[in-house]
Structure 1
């Protein structure tokens, strides 16, 4: 569909539930990251949804294609697009539940939960506290940063003299997954199989492919857990299965629930961010130059890349009936938090569409929010910061390879290929 700019552009007819006003029913498929564009700021088409004139609750009919069509949302969803409302949905655990989120395993009849993502308070806290030490800033600095720096410098040195690389496929797709596999203790030879399974689960849109991939990965993970139970090592999967929660060992469902959740979340979110980050710098050489010449702003620049590249929009479910913004919400109603809108809300961010690598107080929703904020956020930030540090030390000004397609999906699908070039010194 053409880029929408007003409410009139997106209103649609749909036989919605009785608590949904007709004037709130809209088609927001253009804002869900499934339609590609070639803009420098690929999230620009949905930024207007955070404007003060936009109703605070919109309603998007059921998805008729892609992932939503095979995972079963046949009721439609309320969509919140303003920063203040997104913050409430993520933080108000009395009214909103995360149960069932990203539980693709249900498609093959599995009943274990994705832990801790799909667990609500108060039980969420014990699982979060159990896993958090492995992803704390101090642990990352002490145990992971040397490996991260070693991997990224080796990868950059391999391509520096070549003058070009496919930054999406050959670098962004590989670098964070190498770190993740080393952290978990997974065998290197599973690299391509993992990415194939992950692609089929998240991006194929085919129920048959999703189910086959789910069976494959869960069979592997259960076998890997069993191996670590017999032969423990120093890696994270082994630590998880041999640990204790509240003085007891973990159940089989808790073990697979944690390892599965980490597997699903560890494969392509950072990869998508890297591809979009380098695409923007290649298209905006002045931005690249500014960061290159002032390494002291790398941390804030990474945060701004994250704010302006919200890979995911997270969902919640209403836990009870309640009134909000003059509308009667019903227990079981689905909610979608439109992070690509909230991250550009002018009520929260000054001049939100301008990329400011020195922006202060940059509290965005790219890592979601509330108690379910991304467990690997500190690790992702460190991977991105170290990548920029080492890249600018070794690679001169780069640009998109002439004739290359710079189309991007503004979401997790992101960019499949991004060839960039530079002049070899």
Structure 2
């Protein structure tokens, strides 16, 4: 696949190792701009169609395997005996190794369990269902803020507002800090070369460390206070553990749902029949949820090979990096026929939008709630909308794929 060169090239190309068969090599760079206006999902579809094997290898980003076949992708995400979560981001240097400081995503079973329980206790269905009215209320407030104007920048005015402001309330942090925190979070998932990764980590720690120490011993009900006072393995978290856990939560909470919403609404803007079906029959919104999630996965996870292993017809060496993208699972025709189509009536629907196994996304209940409330409140108030005249859709690849900011318009 052809790749364009960004203004600041973060790539680190390497020579093909001897254990990589020549017909496995593909020119694929996750962090390069997506060419020709393709979406991330079309980009992955092209890779899948060109793959000569179920597992390919790219020299970009330090060199890493790319798993194409859905069942093998799911194995990589769930088999912690062979595929470690110690490093989950490519390239290993400098991004992956920097991010491996944060927990529990970088821990394997059984070490990860006590820390994962802390996140589960804060983001489980019981806790998230309490937010229904708050999510709905903020959605209405944002929509009514621009509805009479007949247009908005969906990403800036809505997608980057609702989920991150809800998350900032969960952790009881001031909304005026959002631009800084969102910028830092984005440098892990879509690095632009404007800051060194050790500086990203330092700025996160400089910000969150004093807040956690201040909330030690506090009785607040926010997520950061509960993490500052949590226990793991029968003892209080250390300051470093609390920082690592909190930074992990911030990175996850400030990015993924933003991009899911952008993909869903960019799709609705150019698909009149689907949009009108949902607007005219709100009962079908619930029915649409699983297909939206199936159609628009955005995360490309990776794992570190723990020991030499024969896998997917190739020999992987210890410390090799292997990518198992959730997009590859959903976009493969063996998973979902006509995978790019949106279909209410799929008899089978295979996807791993929230990941698989021990590291299934702890924020999945919040993401589902936010998507449902946004669709409900938006379509009740702005049932007819379209891409603004002169607007075209462009997309950015990365660990979390996104739709670049776009304008919507509607008749007032």
TM-score by length of 2: 0.89
Q: Which residue of 2 aligns with 1:17?
A: 17
Following TM superposition, by how much is the alpha carbon of 1:399 offset from its aligned partner in structure 2, in angstroms?
A: 0.4
CA distance in 2, matches of 1:252, 1:261: 14
Q: Which residue of 2 aligns with 1:27?
A: 27
Q: Which residue of 2 aligns with 1:80?
A: 67
Following TM superposition, by how much is the alpha carbon of 1:136 offset from its aligned partner in structure 2, in angstroms?
A: 1.3
Which residues in structure 2 correspond to 1:11-160 (within 5 Å)?
15-29=15-29, 34-39=33-38, 43-50=41-48, 54-63=52-61, 74=62, 76-102=63-89, 113-141=101-129, 143-160=130-147
Residues 28 and 335 (structure 1), Cα distance of their counterparts in 2 relative to 1, 3 Å cut: same
Question: Which consecutive residues of structure 2, in runs of 5 or more, have no partner in the other structure?
Answer: 4-12
2:152 aligned counterpart, secondary structure? strand
Following TM superposition, by how much is the alpha carbon of 1:87 offset from its aligned partner in structure 2, in angstroms?
A: 0.8
CA distance in 2, matches of 1:271, 1:214: 22
Instruction: Quote the RMSD (CA, aligned, Å).
Output: 2.8
Give the conservation status (yes or no) of the 8 Å contact 2:190–2:397: no
Q: Which residue of 1 aligns with 2:317?
A: 330
CA distance in 2, matches of 1:42, 1:287: 21
2:304 aligned counterpart, secondary structure? strand
Per-residue CA deviations over 1:119-156 (Å, capped at 9, x if unaligned) read 10011122222221221122211x22121111111111
Answering whether residue 334 of structure 2 is matched by residue 347 of structure 1, we say: yes
Q: 1:275 aligns with which of 262, 274, 291?
A: 262
Give the conservation status (yes or no) of the 8 Å contact 1:33–1:413: no
Give the conservation status (yes or no) of the 8 Å contact 1:14–1:25: no
Give the conservation status (yes or no) of the 8 Å contact 1:96–1:319: yes
Answering whether residue 206 of structure 2 is matched by residue 219 of structure 1, we say: yes
TM-score by length of 1: 0.86
CA distance in 1, matches of 2:221, 2:141: 24
Per-residue CA deviations over 1:276-317 (Å, capped at 9, x if unaligned) read 211111111111112212222323423322222221210001
Q: Which residue of 1 aligns with 2:380?
A: 393
Residues 111 and 356 (structure 1), Cα distance of their counterparts in 2 relative to 1, 3 Å cut: closer
CA distance in 2, matches of 1:44, 1:109: 30
Q: Which residue of 2 aligns with 1:288?
A: 275
Following TM superposition, by how much is the alpha carbon of 1:193 offset from its aligned partner in structure 2, in angstroms?
A: 2.1
Give the conservation status (yes or no) of the 8 Å contact 1:408–1:414: yes
CA distance in 1, matches of 2:144, 2:99: 46
Deviates more, 1:83-92 or 1:324-333: 324-333
Give the conservation status (yes or no) of the 8 Å contact 2:54–2:69: yes
Q: Which residue of 2 aligns with 1:303?
A: 290
Q: Which residue of 1 aligns with 2:165?
A: 178
Query: Across the two proteins, how many residue pairs are aligned to each other?
Result: 402
Per-residue CA deviations over 1:38-84 (Å, capped at 9, x if unaligned) read 35x65224315446973111111132xxxxxxxxxx3x111101111
Give the conservation status (yes or no) of the 8 Å contact 1:135–1:378: yes
Give the conservation status (yes or no) of the 8 Å contact 2:306–2:318: yes
Deviates more, 1:44-53 or 1:152-161: 44-53
CA distance in 1, matches of 2:31, 2:293: 17
Q: 1:416 aligns with which of 386, 404, 411?
A: 404
CA distance in 2, matches of 1:26, 1:308: 25
Residues 399 and 240 (structure 1), Cα distance of their counterparts in 2 relative to 1, 3 Å cut: same
